Amino acid sequence: MSKQASVSESNLRQKRKFWQAHIKAWQESDLSQAEYCRRQGLKSHNLSYWVNKKSSKTDMPLALVELPMPKIAACSPALKLVIDNRHQIEIADHFSSAVLEQVLQVLRRIL
């Protein structure tokens, strides 16, 4: 192997390690690619390139699986306030009395 090929291969390994570390850090950061790159001083298209390059090598075949939808019980409000047949407030079993108080204060001001 020539010295030139050895240097190129070493350079590629270093780049791969560099971008793998950034891909991992980006995935753990909960930031968008653009925001992560801005904070790290990287070009976002470079990160995208390495993400795509990495994923194309590690992707496994995908299969769609149908999941049953959970049954949601229809519930009627525990309490319904009707004001002047124009305003209606439905209150569930577990409501916040503080929120209800705020709603009533607003209604007092506007009615």
Based on the fold, state whether residues 50 and 8 are members of the same structural domain.
yes
* 42 plus 83 within the same structural domain: no
Q: What pTM does this model have?
A: 0.45
Closest CA to 22 of 6, 9, 11, 33: 33
Range of the domain at 52: 3-58
In a domain, 73, yes or no: no
Phi then psi for 60, rounded to 5 degrees? -105, 155
71 within domain boundaries? no
Residue 68 lies in a domain: no
pLDDT per residue as tens, the chain (111 positions): 555 566 688 888 899 999 999 999 999 998 999 999 999 999 999 999 998 887 766 556 667 888 898 887 777 767 888 878 887 888 887 788 888 888 888 888 877
37 within domain boundaries? yes
Q: How many domains is the chain built from? A: 2
